[in-house]
Chain A
Amino acid sequence: MTKISNDNTQRKAVALVSGGLDSMLAVKVLQEQGVHVEGINFFTGFCVEGHTHAIRKKDRDKPKRNNALWVAEQLGIKLHILDVSEDYKDVVINPKHGYGANLNPCLDCKGFMVKQAMAWMEKNDFDFLITGEVMGQRPMSQRKDTMPVVSRESGAGDLLLRPLCAKLLPETLPEREGWVDRDQLLDFSGRNRKPQMALAEKFGFKEYAQPAGGCCFLTDANYSSKLADLWQARGEKTYEIDDIVMLKVGRHLRPKPHFKLIIAREEGETNFLRGYRKNYISLNTVSHSGPISLIDGEADEEDIELAARLVARFCSGRNADLVTVNVIQKSGESKDIDVKPLTADEIPQEWYV
């Protein structure tokens, strides 16, 4: 790609904005150099940035803001949120470079995101792209040896600039062409966050998100084990968006290999699960107050009875002789069954996913 060097056109960069401090700083560094920046943020289905907690009623009074939107507003940039959840499945299911500590395919994920950003950049006539990556900060995707992998496999090559550690990396096209001044870029490396904090202070950023661990649920051990359980139960690595949303909601218990029960933990989750009743067999205690539950998998009469006994254990009639449970099939067919609640001893720990 040929660009005219040192002309007076204002150059345009698209930034991968996660909502954390690093991408915020990277954008600001370029804005200081007069570059027009717009942000791009990806919805993969696993994002922590969502409001899963808002399902929970108790958390509703303090709804979590979306940090990517908040950061964009602080920086005065536009933010484009792209739903990449369909294409992202292949990244999670078949990561060429494998997984990190949990089911997080960070290296493939970074390559995928940069590639998507490249496509957006070309379509919208932007000149280059930036990320807030810091060398050595993340064990998988932000190492000196893996950073070039991302540039190469995404096809971005030297159009990908990492302003926070650019001085430790070979010169990129925007630097060579004089669109940005390399001298004013940075050389951050390692896990020490002090340099970022000092720069934040210099820019007058008083408040910013400090994401713990990764930027998505795949770095979470509990979440990953639920996903692994889902794959094992299905005998294949596949998922739909509803599946992965469900993994964030309720208690999950698998009494039999071919079905599991999702039991709401409180009112907010009950309301949320209610919206999914058409896609699952649902169980609701009627003789006693209790949470709604959904059956994920294929369940016959016997399985439904077992599920109902389990659900009864989580209702206010757990010590009653019999609990009436209303069972609604996906077709809408509804019937009441009377069951004896399982005792605590009858629920092995292994059922908890």
Chain B
Amino acid sequence: MSELVLDARNLLCPLPVIRTQNQVEKMNAGDTLCVQCTDHGVINDIPAWCRINGHEILSIDEQEYEIVIKLRVGECR
């Protein structure tokens, strides 16, 4: 099980979602990914993308300027 960090800071939605999608495609079920973002839109979008594609949100840490979303890659891809 690997744990990776993806830097999606200074990218506007939907780019953080696209980067997440492209990274997750290369990962295995059960792996975790921490996505660092600055566009607060990701708080809606990354969880929505995860629900659609069967991945699990583990945590959302929202600070003033930065948001870190941790997710676990699901089976269904």
Extra contacts besides A55-B39, A66-B13, A81-B14 (8): CB < 8 Å: A43-B15, A51-B39, A65-B45, A66-B44, A80-B21, A83-B18, A271-B65, A272-B38
Contacting B45 at CB < 8 Å: which of A55, A69, A78, A275? A69
Minimum-distance CB pairs A-B, first 5: A51-B41, A275-B10, A51-B13, A69-B48, A54-B41
Q: Cα distance A271–B48 when bound, in Å?
A: 26
Q: Is the interface of B mostly helix, strand, loop or mixed?
A: helix
Least Cβ distance of A63 to chain B in Å?
A: 5
Contact A43 B41 (CB under 8 A): no
Contact A54 B13 (CB under 8 A): yes
Contact B48 A81 (CB under 8 A): no
Contact B51 A73 (CB under 8 A): yes
Q: Cα distance A72–B48 when bound, in Å?
A: 9
Contact A60 B10 (CB under 8 A): no
Number of contacting residues on A, CB 8 A?
A: 31
Least Cβ distance of A66 to chain B in Å?
A: 5
Query: Which residue of chain B has its CB nearest to the CB of A72?
Result: B52
Query: Which residue of chain A has its CB nearest to the CB of B54?
Result: A78
Q: Is B68 an interface residue (CB 8 A)?
A: no
B6-65 interface (Cβ within 8 A of A): 9-10, 12-15, 17-18, 21, 38-41, 43-45, 48-49, 51-53, 65
Least Cβ distance of A41 to chain B in Å?
A: 8
Number of contacting residues on B, CB 8 A?
A: 22
Q: Cα distance A51–B48 when bound, in Å?
A: 15
Q: Binary interface profile of A, 46-66, with partner B (CB < 8 Å = 1, else 0)?
A: 010111101100001001111
Contact A52 B12 (CB under 8 A): yes
Query: Which residue of chain A has its CB nearest to the CB of B53?
Result: A78
- Report chain A residues within 8 Å CB of B44: 63-66
Task: Report if A69-B17 is in contact (Cβ < 8 Å); known contacts: A55-B12, A63-B44, A79-B52.
Answer: yes
Task: Count chain A CB atoms within 10 A of each CB in B13, B18, B49 and give the residue with the most.
Answer: B13
Q: Cα distance A246–B50 when bound, in Å?
A: 29
Contact B12 A69 (CB under 8 A): no
Q: Cα distance A60–B48 when bound, in Å?
A: 18
Q: Binary interface profile of A, 33-48, with partner B (CB < 8 Å = 1, else 0)?
A: 0000000010100010
Contacting A49 at CB < 8 Å: which of B14, B40, B49, B65? B14
Contacting B18 at CB < 8 Å: which of A63, A73, A81, A271? A81
Task: Report if A66-B10 is in contact (Cβ < 8 Å); known contacts: A51-B41, A78-B53, A275-B38.
Answer: no
Q: Cα distance A52–B14 when bound, in Å?
A: 10
Least Cβ distance of A265 to chain B in Å?
A: 16
Q: Cα distance A275–B49 when bound, in Å?
A: 26
Least Cβ distance of B62 to chain A in Å?
A: 10
24 contacts between A and B (CB under 8 A): A50-B15, A51-B13, A54-B13, A54-B41, A60-B40, A63-B40, A63-B41, A64-B44, A65-B48, A66-B14, A66-B17, A68-B14, A69-B17, A69-B45, A69-B48, A69-B49, A73-B52, A78-B52, A81-B18, A83-B15, A245-B12, A271-B38, A272-B38, A275-B38
Q: Cα distance A252–B65 when bound, in Å?
A: 24
